[in-house]
Structure 1
Amino acid sequence: MNEFYKELITHTDNWVKRVIMKYNICPFARQEIESNTIRYLVIDETKIAKLADKLVEEYQYLDQHPEVETSLMILANGFGDFNRYLGAVYLAEDLIEDLGYEGTYQIASFHPEYCFEGEDFDSATNYTNRSPYPTLHIIREASIEKALENYNEPESIPERNIAFTERKGAAFFIELLKSCKSN
């Protein structure tokens, strides 16, 4: 693996640990970090058709490796524009349906310029889904269902995260994301 890829993975791992886990944005992340069941991979494809091939490969990889709980596909090039990135998200979701993986996998999306529909770009709320790099998160649905069985009021997670990000403010998260890019 080249140094550039290692750096992207390190920064993304820092983000998972320093933001997602530390501030409990995803209350299920700690277990996967401690169990070392997160797969990080860098995708260097810029063409949507080539990205489709990589997504199919990753779904198949997860099929064959049940010990891997979840995959974070870091899109190294070509998806820095948020609208173009959304096309990659829709592609990943469409492939799940087309390949018969509904109920098996789902996609969570993260991007440095993530902006929820109806939110101002600078709203702190967007930081629940902002990451150092464009990232497609492939999640096993069975794992989500199992985790939710032991979690009181899972529907409160998004509201809690929004309240937290608004309380901390965008400036806090800007600095926090910058810190993730330091080794």
Structure 2
Amino acid sequence: MTGAATIDAIQAEADMRRWLERAVIGLNLCPFAKAVHVKGQIRYAVYLPADESALIDMLLAEANELAALDASVRDTTLLIAPNTLADFLDFNDFTARAERKLARAGFDGVFQLASFHPRFQFAGTAADDITNATNRAPYPTLHLLREDSVSRAVEAFPEAEAIFERNIETLEALGPDGWAALDVGPGSARP
């Protein structure tokens, strides 16, 4: 991240936990997040280099580690990259390459890769559209989700397709000032 202060792993993890607790769980943006959070089944992995050259390697290592563990021990991994990929379009391109690498490594049908970015922007929206906040996190983040866990969650929540629409309504009601009041940006948590 050019021109920005380097973020350390402790700060990055603290900020991501705060975001998860206040935004994702607090606003119920993902009804499946609370259970894995409460059970301590989320791994927060932090990639600190200022360039993304080894980030895919770390993602593959995290995928191998996640695959080796039972879901009751670790259900999901958030790979946080606070010091690189500040540009959303670069991050978006990187995420597509990461998905292809995961598939070639044999994880197609095993994991889904979700992504979050502080400047996330849906196609066809303005940069300041509050609905973009559904996928905004303090730092560029790759989220490894187990396909089996996603399938079980969808079975338990039969209207899973309605989550996106509900999130849009929640954020529109909250508005930019309400989102800002959540204080879930970089450096917001005090480790």
TM-score range, shorter chain: over 0.9
Alignment partner of 1:117 is 2:117? no
Give the Cα–Cα distance (whole angstroms) in 2 for the partners of residues 103 and 42 of structure 1. 25
Aligned to 1:94: 100
Aligned residues: 181
Q: 1:135 aligns with which of 138, 141, 163?
A: 141
Q: 2:40 aligns with which of 36, 54, 62?
A: 36
Give the Cα–Cα distance (whole angstroms) in 2 for the partners of residues 78 and 173 of structure 1. 24
Alignment partner of 1:25 is 2:29? yes
Q: The residue matched to 1:137 in structure 2 has which SS? A: strand
In terms of fraction of residues, the more helix-rich structure is 1
Asked if the contact 2:51–2:83 (Cα under 8 Å) also holds between the matched residues in 1, the reply is: no
Alignment partner of 1:163 is 2:169? yes
TM superposition shift of 1:178: 4.0
Structure 2 unaligned blocks of 5 or more = 1-6
Deviates more, 1:41-50 or 1:163-172: 41-50
Q: The residue matched to 2:133 in structure 1 has which SS? A: helix
TM superposition shift of 1:91: 2.0
Q: The residue matched to 1:147 in structure 2 has which SS? A: helix
Q: For residues 134-163 of structure 1, give each alpha carbon's deviation from its aligned partner in whole angstroms, at most 9, with x where no partner exists.
A: 111110010010111111311100000011
Asked if the contact 2:80–2:142 (Cα under 8 Å) also holds between the matched residues in 1, the reply is: yes
Q: 2:152 aligns with which of 125, 132, 146?
A: 146
Aligned to 1:79: 85
Give the Cα–Cα distance (whole angstroms) in 2 for the partners of residues 78 and 4 of structure 1. 12
Q: For residues 36-90 of structure 1, give each alpha carbon's deviation from its aligned partner in whole angstroms, at most 9, with x where no partner exists.
A: 0000011023444411211111111111122210000110212111111112211
Alignment partner of 1:173 is 2:179? yes
Q: 1:52 aligns with which of 56, 66, 79?
A: 56
Asked if the contact 1:14–1:180 (Cα under 8 Å) also holds between the matched residues in 2, the reply is: no
Give the Cα–Cα distance (whole angstroms) in 1 for the partners of residues 174 and 186 of structure 2. 16
Q: The residue matched to 1:139 in structure 2 has which SS? A: strand
Q: The residue matched to 1:117 in structure 2 has which SS? A: coil
More contact order relative to length (CA 8 Å, sep ≥ 6)? 2
TM-score by length of 2: 0.89
Q: For residues 86-121 of structure 1, give each alpha carbon's deviation from its aligned partner in whole angstroms, at most 9, with x where no partner exists.
A: 122112211121112111101111111000011111
Letter in structure 2 aligned against 1:51: L
TM-score by length of 1: 0.93
Give the Cα–Cα distance (whole angstroms) in 1 for the partners of residues 128 and 53 of structure 2. 32
Letter in structure 2 aligned against 1:21: I
Aligned to 1:68: 74
